């Protein structure tokens, strides 16, 4: 699905193995956990591709891009490994019809202790250009995500991420924006307007500001979600909204409970 087809659609991020459950619940699309996708054996992956081909639920983006072993800065950074992982990821994305790869992956882009910040930033810039270059060959957009202090120590604001995207300076590089990180870093809603042109995908969830956990939606905080999403829509965002909640004891029940909350919130502002 292209961006126009995804206008104000509602998705959920999870493992590809839950595809049929997510389709049954009734989401408009799903985003796929990247590290989990890359860990699937070939036979399991191609069985999943057949399931997606038979189904009616589009797989749109990748989140949770890489495992901790893939480093984009520091002494263990390897351009060749970055390129190899990107190509293997893009091959699988293409088979699933995925057109966007979001990279948060704080473990891969944390500046090591006592390491040169300048050198780390040079390495990260190269790593993203390598990854974006591979993605472009498959008509895939690379989306860089602002993170928060609980999981990373670099690029922790929307502004810093937008500035970095400008430095990458490639047509297929934009931003995946998650209200989770935005709230934890105490950014202001009124400052979002200038960043709308950068944003290709928006994620939201129930936010535990004490320990940084991402949880599924709750009825009691529907007004907060509405305030957040209404602001970004008022500023001109017309894309999709994806619930990315990592912490759950029962994915199916939590995802099922969250969809009508999301539909009510988004329906009231669009």
pLDDT for 136 equals 98
Give the pLDDT band (50/70/90) at residue 208: confident
pLDDT for 196 equals 98
How far is Cα 17 from Cα 59, in angstroms, rounded to an integer?
12
Does 260 score more than 80 pLDDT?
Answer: yes
Using one digit for the tens of pLDDT, what is the confidence trace for 214-243? 999 999 999 999 999 999 999 999 999 999
Q: What residue ranges define each of the domains in the chain, with the CATH number in brackets?
A: 10-267 (3.20.20.150)
How far is Cα 208 from Cα 212, in angstroms, rounded to an integer?
5
pLDDT for 139 equals 97
Does 62 score more than 90 pLDDT?
Answer: yes
pLDDT for 207 equals 84
Does 43 score more than 80 pLDDT?
Answer: yes
Does 157 score more than 70 pLDDT?
Answer: yes
Please enumerate in sequence order all residues whose Cβ is within 8 A of that of 118, keeping only pairs 6 or more positions apart, or say none.
none
Give the pLDDT band (50/70/90) at residue 117: very high
pLDDT for 1 equals 63
pLDDT (mean) for 19-33 = 98
pLDDT (mean) for 142-156 = 94
pLDDT for 213 equals 81
Which of 27-41, 43-57, 209-223, 240-254 comes out lowest in average pLDDT?
209-223
How far is Cα 101 from Cα 66, in angstroms, rounded to an integer?
11
pLDDT (mean) for 91-116 = 96
pLDDT for 169 equals 98
Give the pLDDT band (50/70/90) at residue 2: low
pLDDT for 197 equals 97
What Cα–Cα distance (Å) separates residue 19 from each residue in 113, 214, 244, 270? 40, 20, 15, 27
Share of the chain residues as helix, strand and coil, in percent rounded to the nearest 5:
50, 15, 35
Helices (H), the chain: 19-25, 34-38, 42-54, 79-96, 117-137, 158-168, 179-184, 222-234, 251-267
Task: Give residue 150's Cα distance to chain centre.
Answer: 17
pLDDT for 270 equals 86
Does 17 score more than 80 pLDDT?
Answer: yes
Give the pLDDT band (50/70/90) at residue 159: very high
Q: What value does the mean pLDDT of the chain take?
A: 95
pLDDT for 6 equals 82
Q: State pTM to two decimals.
A: 0.95
């Amino acid at each position: 699905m292209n961006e126009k087809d995804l206008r104000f659609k509602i998705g959920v991020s999870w493992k590809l193995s839950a595809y049929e459950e997510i389709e049954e619940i009734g989401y408009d699309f799903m985003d796929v956990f990247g590290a989990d996708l890359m860990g699937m054996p070939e036979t399991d992956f191609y069985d999943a591709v057949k399931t997606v081909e038979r189904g009616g639920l589009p797989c749109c983006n990748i989140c949770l891009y890489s495992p901790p072993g893939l480093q984009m800065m520091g002494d263990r950074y390897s351009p060749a490994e970055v390129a190899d992982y990107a190509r293997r990821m893009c091959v699988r994305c293409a088979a699933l019809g995925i057109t966007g790869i979001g990279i948060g992956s704080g473990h891969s882009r944390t500046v090591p202790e006592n390491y040169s910040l300048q050198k780390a930033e040079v390495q990260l810039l190269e790593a993203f250009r390598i990854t974006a270059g591979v993605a472009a060959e498959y008509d895939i957009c690379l989306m860089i995500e602002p993170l928060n202090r609980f999981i990373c120590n670099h690029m922790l604001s929307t502004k810093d991420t937008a500035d970095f995207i400008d430095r990458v300076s490639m047509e297929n590089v934009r931003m995946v924006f998650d209200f989770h990180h935005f709230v934890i870093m105490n950014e202001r809603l009124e400052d979002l307007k200038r960043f709308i042109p950068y944003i290709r995908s928006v994620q939201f969830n129930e936010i535990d500001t004490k320990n940084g956990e991402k949880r599924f939606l709750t009825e009691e905080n529907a007004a907060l979600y509405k305030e957040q999403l209404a602001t970004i829509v008022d500023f001109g965002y017309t894309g999709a909204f994806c619930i990315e909640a990592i912490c759950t004891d029962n994915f199916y029940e939590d995802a099922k409970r969250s969809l009508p909350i999301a539909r009510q919130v988004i329906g009231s502002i669009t």
